[in-house]
Structure formats: C-alpha cells, structure tokens
Copies of this chain bind each other. A is one copy, B any other.
Amino acid sequence: MGSIPHCAIIRTLMDYNHWMREALIEANLALAAGEIPIGAVVVWQDTIIGRGRNRREELHDPTAHAEILALREAGVARGGWRLSDATLYCTLEPCPMCAGALVNARVDSLVIGIRDPKAGAAGSVYDLVRSPWLNHRLQVTSDILADEVQELMQRFFTNLRQDKSEP
C-alpha cells in the first residue's frame, strides 16, 4: 500500500554503511596525523567525487574541516560549485560553518555518523541544513555506523588525556 519494500530499505542502509565506511577511512587518517578524527566523502552517481579529513592543525587553516575539503574537491570534480544530487557522508554532525557550506553547495542529502550536541548544526544546536530562512534545504539521516564513529572519537580523547597526564 505505497510502503517502501523491505529490500529497498536494506539496500539503502547497506549503501549508507558502505559510504560511511569510506568517511571512517578518512577519519582514521586524521587520527593517525594527530588531528580530531573526522572524515567526509561526497557521493554523486554512485561514485566518490570528494574526500576530506580534518586537517586543521596540519594546514594551519581554521576552515580545513573534513566536510569543507570534501566539498572543495567535489566542486573541482564536477566542474562547478553546484553539487545538486550529491550526498555528503560525514562521521560527525557538521558545525555551523560546514552546515552553511552544504547549503551554499546545494548538496541534496546529508548522512551523519554521530550527533555533536556541543556544536552540531544539523539539528543539535542549530538546524542550518533545514532552515526555513535559507534558500536550500537538505535531507538528513543520522546514526550510521554510530558505534564505530563513537569508538574512534573516544580513542582520540583518551590518547589526548594520556598525553596530557604524562610528565
């Protein structure tokens, strides 16, 4: 009766997990480089057209968040700044800067690993990606591979505390 068949839901979830695993690869690279482990990929027509990981310390760049770097690469790949019909997968809910960038880029959908209750701008602190006041809105899905993302974040902050407590 117009409901989505189970096989379609399972297929979609498998896709979400597949692409989020790619974002997790980026997050792991960030961890290895000593950065807060956040990763993102932009997917368009079943292909990754942009990848990014947090490189704020390495690049001395306050804007070098995973999502921004992935969007920049995707724009070059598409040959224009409009990323209509694309989906961005990111391990952590975007901050206001990155949420604003998704709106500017006209990205279609956003898939999130875990929420960021302190600075998330896709529903937690602000909801810039579904704002009635801005000229574009995204579809949002969250809690994809949440346990794996959470474990990675915890590993980073545990390492940080250990480093600080060492003489």
Contact = CB atoms under 8 A, between A and B. Distances in A.
Interface in A81-137: 81-83, 95-101, 103-106, 118-119, 121, 125-126, 128, 133-135
Greatest chain B CB density within 10 A among A62, A82, A105 is at A62
B60 A79 contact: yes
Contacts of A153: none
A80 interface: yes
A75 interface: yes
Copies of this protein in the complex: 2
A18 interface: no
A117 B28 CA distance: 41
A97 B95 contact: no
Interface residues of A, number: 40
A18 to B, nearest CB: 25
Contacts of A98: 97, 100
Contact of A72 (B63, B81, B97, B118): B63
A62 B86 CA distance: 13
Contact of A76 (B61, B95, B105, B118): B61
A31 interface: no
A75 to B, nearest CB: 5
A104 B121 CA distance: 13
Given A60-B78, A62-B71, A62-B106, 16 more contacts: A56-B81, A61-B76, A62-B101, A62-B104, A63-B71, A63-B105, A95-B104, A96-B96, A96-B97, A96-B100, A97-B104, A98-B100, A119-B135, A125-B133, A126-B128, A126-B133
